[in-house]
Structure 1
Amino acid sequence: MMVVGRVVMALSALLVVAPQSGVVAQSPARGGTRPNIILVLTDDVGYGDIGSYGSRDIRTPHIDRLARGGVRLTDFYASPQCTPTRAALITGRYQQRVSLERALSTAGPSLQTGLAANGSTLPRLLKNAGYRTGLVGKWHLGYLPEYSPNTHGFDYFYGFLAGYIDFYTHTRGGDGLHDLQENGVAVSDTGYMTDLITSRAVRFIEDNATQPFFLEVAYNAAHWPFQRPGHPTRAANNGRFQSPADSIPATRADYVAMLEHADGGIGTIMATLKKRGIEQNTLVIFTNDNGGEWLSNNAPLFHRKDTLWEGGIRVPAIFWWPSVLPAGRTVSTPGITMDLTATVLTAARTRIPANFEGRDLVPTLAGGTSAAPVAERPLFWRIDTRERQQRAVRRGRWKLLVDGDDLLLFDLPRDIGERHDVAASHPTIVRELRALLAAWEADVDAEATLTSRK
């Protein structure tokens, strides 16, 4: 315990990396006008399913345009499931601290829990700083009104609360209830969900083009049910889970059509920015909420969603900001979801709470000198269920994966597919990373316990 305690103290200095509360860090080349910010999240998309990340059978010209005109990250990380990634984004902290490290279902205790509003979540901080804030699409952080997007500071919300819904009937999986709403009021719009998300995103931009705004566009493509656009007769039963063992399984072609349609939506959003003359002063971030599902292509990574292998947590991430970031740059510095939070807040010149755990990535993306300390900070993950127990930590080039009782060490720059366990030849690194992981778990679990008692 004394060893872990010392590591906790050292770890705390590494984890508290955002600017101190009340201090607004400035990234290079930022002008006098605060930028608009659009964060686009796709759902369950594979690392290798974007053209700029190596896809050969899916056309994503609009996402690829962002990569050509901006900065593409090769080593960016989310969580292994939807809810935890979104919790980390909204809070700027590890999701374990708020006890949201598994996806919320539509049954049992999940219906009564969610992310509590505390006055310092991402949309609230931006709203307090004078930004107009909007979320269109998927929320997945609680069903009760006290957990709603509006309660957290989104001025506008149009979308659904569950983890997945039927793309045509807008009923959610599990209980089959209608799950489409606008600012807390149920709506019965007709249309394919991807198109509805795009159209509301465009409307939000049009309505707020003369003032700074933050818009999260959370597509549910290409999450199951695998319903391609223009084929409502292929709708699944209340959006139920689909697997390759189904009597008539979904196909890769269904998945491809869904993702390509979402890419078209991104193109429509970008065209709207250009039409309104605000393209140059808008930071656009594209990423995904976790690794791809069974119809996805996560190559060259191993495994997929709901694991802590790279295929479950490493995701595409592109930053496009013409007035600040260089075009066509690729960065291998590791990043994680909370960095999105810190980057957005810093770009907006908004106060960042001292306990936030992300870093503004813009200096690194722009080629600044802060890449080294960001690269060496440890990043952590955990899955703790009856079905799977995994823990992982990455520091620099090294990743320790604790899979059950097995300690596996990978040199990721040399072994992106995690095929060569080098734990036997680097026992000192294994011990160091294992101690960091134990200290991190003790830290986040202690805070989660305190929070649950309040």
Structure 2
Amino acid sequence: MKLLIQMICFVFCLFPMQQSMLFAAKAKADNRPNIIFILLDNVGKDWFRSYGSQENQTPNIDHLAYNGLRFRNCYVTPVCSTTRHMLLTGRYPFQSGWHTHHDPAIYGGGYFDWDREVCFARILRDAGYHTCISGKWQINDLFDPAQKDALKKHGFEEHCIFPEGKKGHPAHKQRYWDPYVIKNGQRMETKGKFGPDIFTDYLIEYMKTHRDRPFCAYYSAILTHIPVVSTPHNLGKELTPREKFAGMLNYSDYLIGRLVTAMDELGIRDNTILFIVPDNGTDNGTDQNAEQSLGGRINGRVSGEGIYSLKEQGINMPLIVNCPKLVGGERISDDLIDVSDVLPTLADLAKAPLPKGVKINGRSFAPQILNQPLKTPWRPWCLTQYYKQRVVRDQRFKLYSTGEFYDLSEDPLELHNLANSNRTKTDKVSLESYAQLRNVLDSLPENSKLPWEFRSISARRIRAEEARQKQAGDSNLKP
């Protein structure tokens, strides 16, 4: 009897050991790449030397660009929330209906609805990845009881975020010094701390904890969003607003360098694909604390119209992909990308199926990342929009839904509208491009309607202008 009891105890002790060994073997066998996706805030090509800038604030990012894959043309939308929604869902603004800026954390109203849309984090989580978000989240009001679990419902298993809050709330715009930060549902003590440091420290600890299993970390950075502030590297110095902005970008670059160093030290660098892209162009300094333009210099020109503008400075952003083993050394791609392509790309890299019953507009550029041949030719255009205005471009020309037509190879600042010029009527190349781009725009459906109204300042201005134009038109009809 004693021997029987000993044997039963041995079996019960052995079982969890076997289970643990099987789990470890399974985890080790899963060699799908880790993914770190960094979305920078409000900074365009005019500040990245690897994209022709004369500024010198991004040595770490530029090193990743020069030793990885960079795309010459990646379209975002001209403002934060519309880009984020397009990025997270893989759907064009006209498809999802989120075509105008809206910040429910500040204005209330509608929000990023997990019952209506599928976030890439949910796709990867369901495919066996561990998922987290660090940094900024503004497309749900996490202080609304109905939305307090939004991050989990969107697929993020862990979080460390600045949640934003309505005017008067302690979280309202409190993102930099002494920031309002929530880590896995609990508010952190942050007095004397700098928000970007907190989010980077969290990601480094996250990588340490989850390095034995494929993970996807979405780093939605708060730098370099206005107001311009001092960083730990220049605190106490007398600086102009532009110098402070430069310091903010340089500090963001420093933090990305810290992440890469941590990846090296953890031994996961060769199996971790790092993405870097901004959400829109450089803010032109509209903040009350910025008396001068915050734009950088590119090819000798001072940038402008980097936010809320569908000109190239506002929507054509850097896209850098780096992983020494999987991506390889320096490559430059002319393929036209837009941020709707991110979701299918991440799903492809993770070997995860796309959601059923949801129209995904983007296309996977995983073959380009892994330097593999394409099964079908890449599309010859990329697209974005804001409200009702849409733009589409090919390698050389750009067409607005409102009719403006530009040759970007000769006129990158879009100063000379060719729509009604003799050249467009007689030049074969211009004629063919115009016709092809017009066909793309004409094939698109009208904007989908959301069951709520946009409440941002931008949305209210648009409605006021439409009302003004309607009133003016009605007045002209009177006898």
TM range (shorter): 0.7 to 0.9
Deviation at 1:378, TM superposition (A): 4.6
Distance (whole Å) between structure 2 residues aligned to residue 86 and residue 227 of structure 1: 24
Corresponding position of 1:25: none
Higher mean C-alpha deviation, range 177-186 or range 266-275: 177-186
The question of 1:180 aligning with 2:178 is answered no
> Which among 402, 405, 409 is matched to residue 405 of structure 2?
409
Give per-residue Cα distances to partners, 1:68-114, cap 9 Å, x unaligned: 22111111111101001111111111134333223334687x31321
Corresponding position of 1:202: 204
Deviation at 1:293, TM superposition (A): 0.9
The question of 1:418 aligning with 2:420 is answered no
The question of 1:292 aligning with 2:282 is answered yes
Partners of 1:302 and 1:309 within 8 A in 2: no
Deviation at 1:327, TM superposition (A): 1.0
Where 1:280 maps in the other structure, the secondary structure is helix
Q: Give structure 2 stretches of 5+ with no counterpart.
A: 1-28, 285-293, 426-430, 454-479
Aligned residues: 393
Deviation at 1:180, TM superposition (A): 2.3
Partners of 2:47 and 2:297 within 8 A in 1: yes
Give per-residue Cα distances to partners, 1:393-445, cap 9 Å, x unaligned: 22443211245xxx221222443332333222335554553453244242xx2
Corresponding position of 1:114: 111
Distance (whole Å) between structure 1 residues aligned to residue 417 and residue 440 of structure 2: 19
Corresponding position of 1:7: none
Give per-residue Cα distances to partners, 1:197-227, cap 9 Å, x unaligned: 1111111111111110000111111110100
The question of 1:136 aligning with 2:134 is answered yes
The question of 1:356 aligning with 2:357 is answered no
Give per-residue Cα distances to partners, 1:165-189, cap 9 Å, x unaligned: 9xxx964279xx9742123333332
Partners of 1:76 and 1:315 within 8 A in 2: yes
Deviation at 1:362, TM superposition (A): 2.8
Work out the percentage of aligned pairs sharing the same amino acid.
26
Distance (whole Å) between structure 1 residues aligned to residue 161 and residue 305 of structure 2: 30
Corresponding position of 1:330: 332
Distance (whole Å) between structure 2 residues aligned to residue 375 and residue 435 of structure 1: 14
Distance (whole Å) between structure 2 residues aligned to residue 215 and residue 323 of structure 1: 19
1:452–1:435 Cα change, 3 Å: farther
Distance (whole Å) between structure 1 residues aligned to residue 229 and residue 260 of structure 2: 25
Q: Residue type matched to 2:261 in 1?
A: A
Distance (whole Å) between structure 2 residues aligned to residue 347 and residue 68 of structure 1: 22
Counterpart mapping for 1:38-437 below 5 A: 38-105=36-103, 110-118=107-115, 120-143=118-141, 144=144, 145-146=146-147, 148-162=150-164, 171-172=172-173, 179-190=180-191, 191-230=193-232, 251-294=241-284, 295-297=294-296, 299=298, 303-353=305-355, 355-370=359-374, 373-384=377-388, 390-402=389-401, 407-423=403-419, 424=421, 425-426=423-424, 428=431, 429-430=433-434, 433-437=437-441
Cα RMSD for the two superposed structures: 3.2
Deviation at 1:32, TM superposition (A): 6.7
Corresponding position of 1:26: none
- Normalised to the residue count of structure 2, the TM-score between the two structures is 0.74
Deviation at 1:249, TM superposition (A): 10
Distance (whole Å) between structure 2 residues aligned to residue 164 and residue 134 of structure 1: 24
Distance (whole Å) between structure 2 residues aligned to residue 249 and residue 408 of structure 1: 40
Deviation at 1:313, TM superposition (A): 0.4
Q: Residue type matched to 2:60 in 1?
A: H
Partners of 1:378 and 1:396 within 8 A in 2: no
1:361–1:206 Cα change, 3 Å: same
Q: Residue type matched to 2:137 in 1?
A: W
Distance (whole Å) between structure 2 residues aligned to residue 228 and residue 372 of structure 1: 49
Q: Residue type matched to 2:260 in 1?
A: M
Q: Give structure 1 stretches of 5+ with no counterpart.
A: 1-30, 235-247, 385-389
Bigger radius of gyration among the two: 2
Corresponding position of 1:242: none
- Normalised to the residue count of structure 1, the TM-score between the two structures is 0.78
